[in-house]
A and B are shown apart, each in its own frame.
Chain A
Amino acid sequence: MHDRTIAELRKDLDSGAYSSVELTRHFLGRIERLDPGLNCYITVAAEPALAAAQRADRAIADGTAGPLTGIPIAHKDIFCTQGLRTSCGSRMLDTFIAPYDATVVERLAAAGAVMLGKTNMDEFAMGSSNETSFYGPVRNPWNPTRVPGGSSGGSAAAVAARLCVAATGTDTGGSIRQPAALCGITGIKPTYGRCSRWGMIAFASSLDQAGPMARSAADAALLLRAMAGFDPRDSTSVDTPVPDYLAGLDASLSGLRIGLPKEYFGEGLDNDVATSIQEAIREYERLGARVSEINLPNSPLSVPVYYVVAPAECSSNLARFDGVRYGHRCENPKDLDDLYKRSRAEGFGAEVQRRIMIGTYVLSAGYYDAYYLKAQKIRHLIADDFRHAFEQVDVILGPTSPTTAFPIGTKMDDPVAMYLNDIYTIATNLAGLPGMSIPVAPVDGMPVGLQIIGNYFDEGRLLNVAHRLQQTTDWHASPPPGWD
Chain B
Amino acid sequence: MGLIREDVEKIAHLARLAVAPDQSERYAGDLNRILDLVAQMDAVDTQGVDPMAHPLHMVQRLRPDLPTEPNRRDRFQAIAPLTEAGLYLVPKVIE
Q: Which residue numbers of A lie inside 8 Å of B, CB to CB?
A: 96-97, 99, 191-193, 206, 232, 235-236, 238, 298, 300-301, 303-305, 307-308, 315, 319, 322-329, 333-342, 344-345, 348, 353-354, 356-358, 360-362, 364, 371, 373-381, 383, 414-416, 419, 430-433, 456
Contacts and interface: CB of A to CB of B under 8 A. Distances in A.
B16 to A, nearest CB: 4
A378 B44 contact: yes
A379 B50 CA distance: 10
Contact of A364 (B14, B81, B90): B14
A326 B90 CA distance: 12
A377 B51 contact: yes
A456 B51 contact: no
Contacts of A419: 34, 37
Given A193-B58, A336-B90, A356 B17 contact: yes
Interface of B: 3, 8, 11-19, 27, 30-31, 33-41, 44, 46, 49-56, 58, 60-61, 63, 72, 75-76, 78-82, 88, 90-93
B11 A357 contact: yes
Contact of B18 (A325, A342, A361): A342
Contacts of A235: 60-61
B27 A354 contact: yes
A99 B44 contact: no
B37 A304 contact: yes
B81 A323 contact: yes
Given A326-B79, A377-B49, A383-B55, 12 more contacts: A96-B79, A97-B79, A99-B78, A193-B55, A344-B18, A353-B27, A354-B31, A357-B11, A371-B38, A381-B49, A383-B52, A432-B55
Contact of A432 (B19, B56, B91, B92): B56
B56 to A, nearest CB: 6
Given A301-B44, A336-B90, A339-B90, A376 B17 contact: no
A381 B46 contact: yes
Given A329-B82, A339-B91, A193 B17 contact: no
Query: Which of A335, A360, A371 has the most CB atoms of chain B within a 10 A radius of its CB?
Result: A360
Given A206-B55, A333-B91, A304 B39 contact: yes
B90 to A, nearest CB: 6
Nearest to A382: B52
A376 B53 contact: yes
Query: Which of B49, B52, B81 has the most CB atoms of chain A within a 10 A radius of its CB?
Result: B52
Contacts of A329: 81-82
Contacts, number: 163
A301 B34 contact: no
Query: Which of A304, A373, A374 has the most CB atoms of chain B within a 10 A radius of its CB?
Result: A304
Q: Which 9 A-B pairs have the closest CB atoms?
A: A432-B55, A376-B51, A329-B81, A341-B18, A345-B18, A377-B46, A380-B52, A340-B16, A360-B15
Query: Which of A193, A238, A337, A357 has the most CB atoms of chain B within a 10 A radius of its CB?
Result: A357
Contacts of A344: 15-18
Given A232-B63, A326-B80, A375 B41 contact: yes
Contact of A357 (B12, B55, B80): B12
Contacts of A304: 37-41
B33 A416 contact: yes
Given A324-B90, A374-B41, A377-B49, A357 B54 contact: no
B71 to A, nearest CB: 13
Nearest to A431: B55
Contacts of A206: 54-55
B51 A373 contact: yes
B56 A325 contact: no
B52 A376 contact: yes
14 contacts: A303-B37, A305-B41, A308-B38, A308-B41, A325-B76, A326-B79, A341-B13, A341-B16, A353-B27, A364-B11, A373-B51, A414-B33, A416-B37, A419-B34
